[in-house]
Amino acid sequence: MKKLLLYTLLFLSFAGFAQQQPKKVKYAKSINDFVPKGWKIITTAKGDLNKDGAEDIAIVIEDTKKENFIDNTNMGSSKLNVNPRTLLVLFKYKPYGSYSLGASQDTFIPLESDEENSCLADPLLQDGGIDIVKGNLIVDFNYWLSCGSYWVTNKQYTFRFQDNNFALIGFDTSEYSRSSGEMSHTSVNFLTKKKSTTTGENMFEDDAKKHKTVWETIKINELLTLTDMTSDSEIHF
């Protein structure tokens, strides 16, 4: 009986997730054809990702269900938007001007609001975002709190299309205190297997003599990919 109850709960859980994540369109003439009914595009980036000379596009889409705007009785906004988000990468087929679905990620992009931390601003649209630079897909999250902490953290992920997937080739993370001005920055290149860590910076001072950068060699057996990522992913190196 206990096993039956467990399987039932698991089935209902996956069924609920499937309801929130509609079936993906794989090929279409228009970008809007990839956006499910009731969803909307919240940010866009354009550039050639698969090196075929055509302008590809990456978009983040968000559901708009009213029931996912919930009341907040804690600090922060009075309403929290917990609608799911999806990152789509669309490859353009130049001869016909149509698009194919190159990647879809339902678990990587943070929600606009965090029920457990209602003071957290939107990590994607509050000084974050997506971009395509030199053929690489850049995904940037900025964690800024309106109450509870002076610290601001930025995480930037760099993906390159190779072997029919988007490999994580770079990761940069920085943080600073809005009160003390203390700053630090770590940059990892997974292709060269090098990491640099810079400390001693201060956003209120301009004293390069206090800055210290340490370089290290990291150990990595294989590259992570976009499909491996979640909004809670910790990058270990």
Going by pLDDT thresholds of 50, 70 and 90, the confidence category of residue 144 is very high
Residue 185: is its pLDDT beyond 50? yes
Q: Over the chain, what is the mean pLDDT?
A: 89
Question: For residue 21, what pLDDT is reported?
Answer: 62
pLDDT digits (tens, 9 = 90+) for 202-211: 989 887 778 8
Question: For residue 105, what pLDDT is reported?
Answer: 97
Average pLDDT of span 87-97? 92
Residue 230: is its pLDDT beyond 60? yes
Q: Look at residues 200, 207, 168 and name the one whose alpha carbon lies nearest to residue 185.
A: 200
d(CA 226, CA 152): 24
Burial 67-106 (b: 16+ CB within 10 A, else e): ebeeeeeeebeeebbebbbbbbbbbbeeeeeebeebbbbe
Question: For residue 2, what pLDDT is reported?
Answer: 35
Average pLDDT of span 69-94? 93
Average pLDDT of span 63-85? 93
The residue ranges of every structural domain in the chain are: 25-228
Residues 128, 117 contacting (CB under 8 angstroms): no
Residue 68: is its pLDDT beyond 70? yes
Lowest mean pLDDT, pick from 8-17, 69-78, 175-184: 8-17
Question: For residue 3, what pLDDT is reported?
Answer: 37
Residue 1: is its pLDDT beyond 70? no
